[in-house]
Structure 1
């Protein structure tokens, strides 16, 4: 395990690189930092196995483009996407691309460390990398039709207000359905709910 505890931080903001590096080093991780995606891709082939913290909005190549290139090259290191814009549609694309999680900046230490532990679980035990299709479909089976419709809106990357408009209900009602479906699925974060939806093959259309 010791050799796999490296975190690669890819972020064009020096302040983020410094603060996250300090936080992670004091938590027992090895840390490597890169000022943009191009710099990381140049070093990726020889990089120590570990977890990638990948910022979405960067000059040259954005985080999603870097993620796509890593997938193309067959780099199997788990990715946690960092976004400072609350952009759910971006997070959906990242999750579909295989990201372990997405975190909004500024992030809390506990949230980041929990995501990193999930990332290393994936790295160490690829068998558990994804929820099985059958299990995911079984879990979705407990949802009402309306909750499925709300989840489908989330899969599209839509905010609550857009989902409410599409379904002809109030944003508050969407919030209630969203809370209910997450409780039934036994998840605490949107990324976990999306992971189950993707595993079950739930599409944004239909």
Structure 2
């Protein structure tokens, strides 16, 4: 699919977009992986932020969905790390928490797209 490829300005090349899913809930992580894979994207899924960080930084052409309620390193810290990269990927936060909790978590991360659980396929696709 031609829309699964994007320019990677950090490398000056055109490459396949990889989608990274950082979600501790297995059912949500598995469902997202299945949906995104069915659309022709390469997917890497992680149960926590530490796993994503250990795997190395995503490309600037990639998209990373990060649950805010991760165990270990909180989702907002993972997002802050991603935003500090020299060539950051696109990041989308996901959460099932109350809007008050979410606003507190994201107060230092302005302009971040947020998807509320339960997630809708159309919302996910809109951010790819």
Distance 1:72 1:39, change over 3 A: same
Separation (CA, whole Å) in 2 of partners of 1:53 and 1:94: 18
Is 1:74 matched with 2:86? yes
| Residue segments in structure 2 that go unaligned for 5+ positions in a row | 7-14
Point out the structure with the larger strand share. 2
TM-score, length basis structure 1: 0.50
Within 5 Å, which residues of 2 pair with 1:58-137? Answer: 58-87=70-99, 88-90=102-104, 92-93=106-107, 95-96=109-110, 98-99=111-112, 101-116=113-128
Look at both structures and tell me which one has the larger radius of gyration over its CA atoms.
Answer: 1
Q: Deviations over 1:150-170 (max 9, x none)?
A: xxxxxxxxxxxxxxxxxxxxx
Count of aligned positions: 113
The alignment's C-alpha RMSD in Å is 2.0
Point out the structure with the larger helix share. 1
TM-score, length basis structure 2: 0.77
Aligned to 1:30: 42
Say which SS state the counterpart of residue 107 (structure 2) adopts.
Answer: helix
Q: Displacement of 1:28 after TM fit?
A: 1.7
Separation (CA, whole Å) in 2 of partners of 1:17 and 1:94: 26
Separation (CA, whole Å) in 1 of partners of 2:108 and 2:114: 8
Aligned partners of 1:21 and 1:31 also within 8 Å: yes
